[in-house]
Amino acid sequence: MAMSAVEYGPNGRVIRKDKASLDQIKQELAQREHAWLDGKTRSVAGFARYARIGLILWCVQLALQAVMLAGFYFAPTRMPGVFFEMDGRESLNLAILSDWLIFATAITTFILVGRFTYRAQKNLFTINSPFAKMSPGWTVGWYFIPIAAIWQPFMGMSQIYRGSYAAVGEKVPEGSPLPIWWGAWLLMNVPDWFTTVWSDSAVMQYALLLASIGLSIVAAVFLMRILSEVAEKQTLLQGGGVANVFD
């Protein structure tokens, strides 16, 4: 008979706790709750592929917008009116349409990345990976929680990245893309905070814009690398678990 993780004394008072056993029990319960019911992992390659396409499109759109806005800041009289005014209405122009296109691409890509993240973490629970601590739902949900969104999504992706390498018996390579991806993600909106400080300087306004776009592209590029590496490792799990990788 297995030893209980908690030993009770007289009157039901707890006199000993085995933390290691408690952690093991928690891990087993989490594995039962979050694993796929049939015990088989699911492919994340499709979500990774389409998310990478979305990220590439987003980067291209940002770069094109940077070129277009260069004319707005430094040569507005030479720009065709269609860029900033259409049919005499400033509310309908290519600049605003560009913003909406970037927004739509970003939302679509985020959904794909969220589906990828959820499924990848669920796969780790299915193979009973010790790296899987955060529930699949919360690997996505933490992005929407103020303050916690600063670090919790990074923790979830870190579990997925490290767990996927460990699942196929490999060490995480040096120069992990995780810190650069998350650092750029957190910093990409910082330049916008200073736009009011140099509101009278077109040069500074544009420089801050370029800084924000640059950080956004860096975050996208390193996220694409994370998606590719995790998808590659988890594809090896399609046979049914860690053991089959080495058969």
Tell me the per-residue pLDDT of 118-139, one tens digit each, with 9 for 90 and over. 999 999 999 999 999 999 999 9
Q: What is the pTM of this model?
A: 0.81
Residue ranges per domain, the chain?
Answer: 31-45+109-242
Residue 222: C-alpha distances to residues 25, 114, 156, 186, 201 (Å): 36, 16, 16, 13, 32
Whether the CB-CB separation of 55 and 46 falls below 8 Å is answered with no
> Cβ contacts of residue 19 below 8 Å, gap of 6+?
none
Phi, psi of 7 (to 5 degrees): -110, 130
The per-residue pLDDT for range 186-210, each reduced to its tens digit, is: 999 898 888 777 777 888 888 999 9
Tell me the three state secondary structure of residue 232. helix
Report residue 169 as tokens: 């018996």
Amino acid at site 91: S
